[in-house]
Amino acid sequence: MIVAGRKVAIVGMGGAFPTCTSLDDFDKKLFAGESLIRNWPKAAAYDKQIRSMVAGYITEPEMNLEAIHPVPETEYPETYVDHLGRIPDLNLATADLGCVWAMLGAQESIKMAGWSKAEVESEQTGVVIASGGGGNVISRHAWHAFYELGKKTRMAGSHTVDRAMSYREAANVSCLIRNKGVCESIISACATGLGNIGYAYRLIKFGLQDRAITGGVEGTALETFIGFDAMQVLSKGFAPEQSSRPFDIKRNGFVCSFGAGIVALEEYEIAKARGANILGVIDEYFNNSDGDGNMFYPSYDGQKRLWKGLMAGGNIKPDVVKVHGTATPVGDILELISVVDTIGEEGYHISAPKAQFGHMLGAAGSVELIASLLMLKNQKVLPCINSDELNPELENFQKKDGWEGSDKPAAAYRHLISQETVAKEINQIVCLNYGFGGTNSAMSISRDDK
């Protein structure tokens, strides 16, 4: 359980972000109000087989990587070459694309944290990273060669296990940095990114580790995209930059995106003692389940209990609530109301960064935590672009018998949701993420000097 006096600081961050060359570029584009969503040629190549054609994708060349294909050539990425020489070939051989991003994010985080080799390789350093999906790109080719082409299993190569297993990102990062503490993955659909950081936070808070490299990843994969496309839950019918529209009355689905968000956590007093630059302090983490037996539909009750659990641990009075806000028809407003019914209708802003970079699935929570750390740094709230018009009418769920939440429509909360960047004093941000299966995660972070 919690060890009295132990706090957890965030001392490094890095990752992979669509259309961005670096974390600084990500920072710049976000606060300039840009969208990172583009038409995806890879999806468009399948024409009418695919319903949605926009995504927040990242190609190999954009990360200075090159996929090596077998001879005779197929789409199968046999391994990757790092043209900047950041990751050794031996580590690249066991990695799928998301693992490479995770390793790059880990390197950036460690560099920013300023940890020594001894600190990184310590028994007190853990790695907790995961993605929401499987190693779908790798598995597809392995299965195709075996089942459809009737090839020997070895034709898929000897790395289909390490490149596709559920905890491949944690395993690859751990092999790269050679830590001797915990190496695990927490997998909880679209709450994965925040869930891993929450688990790593607890490892430190409970006195089991002093440091952790942690976060969430979702490597670019059309194989992942088509599952959501089949569910008809992806945005359709808008220009790419207008496709992700949390809270807007015309929203019709989320934009599927890919990326990686990795952070370095460290026990606060240890970080402070060595003079680390503290990007933020984690006040509290709480997670729960809806408990209503519904795989997909968001739960007002589950979210209210999530807030209750988060607030039980300490002083939670956020200046910004970074919501999950996917831009699906039901989820956004239900989430909005669970926020206002908990912390009131004034005194904070709501940020929905998926408006700018879409829904990164297993990376969503961690990349959005990084976006929140940037809000703390810049003292600015990110703009909720495309939230052009909020519904002036009640939602259907508000009209049902037994509804106990707010009886105001979304438009009554316009003042909380800005389409422009807002400069203001930001001392605390609450981050929320949810996933299929009714899993809910919440984390509160604060400025170190407040």
Catalytic residues: 190, 324, 359
Write phi, then psi, for 142 (nearest 5 degrees).
-65, -45
Spatial neighbors of 268 by CB under 8 A, at least 6 apart, are: 6, 7, 8, 9, 278, 281
165 sits near another protein (criterion: CB under 8 A): no
CB of 79 to another protein, least distance (A): 5
Among residues 92 and 310, whose Cβ is nearest to another protein?
A: 92
Let me know how many helices (H) and strands (E) the chain has, helices first. Answer: 15, 16
79 sits near another protein (criterion: CB under 8 A): yes
Residue from 8, 11, 23, 92 binding another protein (CB under 8 A): 92
CA dist 388 and 333 (Å) reads 15
Of 154, 135, 144, residue with least CA distance to 218: 135
Which span (150-158, 164-172, 195-203, 350-358) binds another protein, by CB under 8 A?
150-158
CA dist 243 and 260 (Å) reads 21
Of 324, 323, 309, residue with least CA distance to 361: 324
DSSP code at position 256 = B
CB of 143 to another protein, least distance (A): 16
- DSSP codes, 190-240: GGHHHHHHHHHHHHHHTTS-SEEEEEEEE---HHHHHHHHHTT-B--SS-G
Region of 338 (left: φ > 0; alpha: ψ -120 to 50; beta: rest) is alpha
Which span (64-72, 121-129, 169-177, 277-285) binds another protein, by CB under 8 A?
64-72
Of 328, 325, 322, residue with least CA distance to 351: 322
CB of 163 to another protein, least distance (A): 11
Residue from 3, 45, 68, 330 binding another protein (CB under 8 A): 68
Q: Pairing mode, if any, of strands 439-446 and 428-435?
A: antiparallel
CA dist 119 and 288 (Å) reads 33
Residue from 6, 67, 81, 278 binding another protein (CB under 8 A): 81
* Residue in this structure with the two tokens 């709450």, named with its chain if needed: 191
13 sits near another protein (criterion: CB under 8 A): no
Residue from 89, 292, 388, 393 binding another protein (CB under 8 A): 89
Among residues 152 and 400, whose Cβ is nearest to another protein?
A: 152
CB of 154 to another protein, least distance (A): 5
Among residues 157 and 309, whose Cβ is nearest to another protein?
A: 157
Among residues 82 and 248, whose Cβ is nearest to another protein?
A: 82
Residue from 3, 155, 230, 312 binding another protein (CB under 8 A): 155
442 sits near another protein (criterion: CB under 8 A): no
90 sits near another protein (criterion: CB under 8 A): yes
103's tokens: 């390793």
152 sits near another protein (criterion: CB under 8 A): yes
Give the binding site for another protein (CB under 8 A): 68, 70-72, 79, 81, 89-90, 92-93, 152, 154-155, 157-159
